[in-house]
Amino acid sequence: MTSTTTRTLRIAMNGVTGRMGYRQHLVRSILPIRDAGGVELPDGSRLQVEPVLVGRNEEKLRALAKEHDVAEYTTDLDGIVTDPGTDVVFDAAMTNLRPATLSKAMRAGKHVYTEKPTAETLAEAVDLARLREETGVTAGVVHDKLYLPGLVKLRRLVDEGFFGRILSLRGEFGYWVFEGEHQAAQRPSWNYRSQDGGGMTTDMFCHWNYVLEGILGSVRTVNAQTVTHIPTRWDEQGKPYDATADDAAYGIFEVETPGGDPVVAQINSSWAVRVYRDELVEFQVDGTHGSAVAGLRKCVSQQRANTPKPVWNPDLPVTEPFRDQWSEVPANADLDNGFKLQWEEFLRDVVAGRPHRYDLLSAARGVQLAELGLRSSAEGRRLDVPEISL
């Protein structure tokens, strides 16, 4: 017989007035979980969530709480973190403030779930992972892209051996972020100030590390070129400022599969590129037996037997319908919002008292890759990625 009891976790959500904290974590994850009556657990009982909105702007918090029928909000981050009634602390605020928030929460015995990067430096990120080991709390770090339909399908192709021996991965990410002078920028100004924790490499190499680990294997080397293409931008008040952080990063990574095969991965990341592709991010994996291209939702593949034999002839127009020669990979399941799916997995881990598979050590490897990427660009050379030990 299954249980019908319901347990409630009180979650302090810091940074919900920001774009990611609000859209993906509050509106598309926690509130749908709450409104559905919680997360179903293996024994048939349910785990309900009770969000507490946390931020620095009380007026915005009050408006969000009223709009979404949330009972509690506060500007007292320290108070809610140490409150005995708080079970989980979530952080989506600025990166340079994150280590202090997560450390205080774990020392207070709170489970933590956080956006990445978890810190600006590898040393800080490793310290957080060590603290989690010491306190024994459950810690999760957002690895949302691995839960998205496109990459779920891509991973399934890898698991089923579709590619044969995997040779390479090519990734394209980015879009044009307006400077803010004539049209408002789509991203906050701190993203382009290194002193505030901004920068493409710092932001996205953390993602690329877990994507490469989750799809292919361990990252062994990095060779990167970082650039600030747009040197002057305009902030939220319409004032010009110097963009001190990189707005593009071009990386080549050597990846080792679990079977020991080497794979070359190259990923371009830019906030100064105009999109000519189906999605804002796409990954192409090529192997001896087939290839696939995955975006956030769609994935198409081409088997070796169905691969055309084009001939290079610059004197004639292209007549091959290349895009039509690929087959769409079906989902074969209902794939929910990736952020919500990981939240549900994390909450089940909290109740079960077990580690989350994407924890602070995984996040530290992402910070390490970003740090090495910046160093690789500065020194103009390829760098090894050493293993991290706690």
Give the model's confidence band at 55: pLDDT under 50 very low, under 70 low, under 90 confident, else very high: very high
- Residues β-bridged to residue 241: 233
The domain containing residue 84 runs over which residues?
6-142+338-356
pLDDT of residue 127: 98
CATH number at residue 20: 3.40.50.720
For the chain, give the mean pLDDT: 96
Instruction: Judge if 155 and 300 occupy the same domain.
Output: yes
Element (H, E) at 360: helix 360-379
Instruction: Judge if 312 and 188 occupy the same domain.
Output: yes
pLDDT of residue 2: 47
Give the model's confidence band at 4: pLDDT under 50 very low, under 70 low, under 90 confident, else very high: low
For the segment 262-317, what is each residue's pLDDT rounded down to a tens digit? 999 999 999 999 999 999 999 999 999 999 999 999 999 999 999 999 989 999 89
Number of structural domains, the chain? 2
CA distances from 257 to 28, 166, 206, 261 (A): 34, 9, 19, 5
Rg (CA), the chain: 22
Dist CA 164 CA 161 (whole Å): 6
Burial environment of residue 378 by CB neighbours within 10 A (0 to 12, 13 to 18, 19 or more): exposed
Instruction: Judge if 171 and 70 occupy the same domain.
Output: no
pLDDT of residue 96: 86
Report yes or no on 222 lying in a domain: yes
Q: Which residues contact 291 (CB under 8 A, 6 or more apart)?
A: 163, 284, 285, 301, 302, 307
pTM: 0.92
Instruction: Judge whether residue 247 has pLDDT over 60.
Output: yes
Dist CA 52 CA 70 (whole Å): 7
Mean pLDDT for 190-210 is: 93
For the segment 26-35, what is each residue's pLDDT rounded down to a tens digit? 999 999 999 9
CATH number at residue 230: 3.30.360.10
Dist CA 342 CA 90 (whole Å): 13
3-state secondary structure 295-331: CCCCEEEEEHHHCCCCCCCCCCCCCCCHHHHCEECCC
Share of the chain above pLDDT 70, in %: 99
Instruction: Judge if 327 and 182 occupy the same domain.
Output: yes
Give the model's confidence band at 385: pLDDT under 50 very low, under 70 low, under 90 confident, else very high: very high
Report yes or no on 1 lying in a domain: no
Instruction: Judge if 344 and 291 occupy the same domain.
Output: no
Report yes or no on 39 lying in a domain: yes
Give the model's confidence band at 1: pLDDT under 50 very low, under 70 low, under 90 confident, else very high: very low
Instruction: Judge if 16 and 164 occupy the same domain.
Output: no
Dist CA 145 CA 331 (whole Å): 16
Give the model's confidence band at 257: pLDDT under 50 very low, under 70 low, under 90 confident, else very high: very high
Q: Are strands 248-256 and 232-234 parallel, antiparallel or unpaired?
A: unpaired
Dist CA 164 CA 170 (whole Å): 17
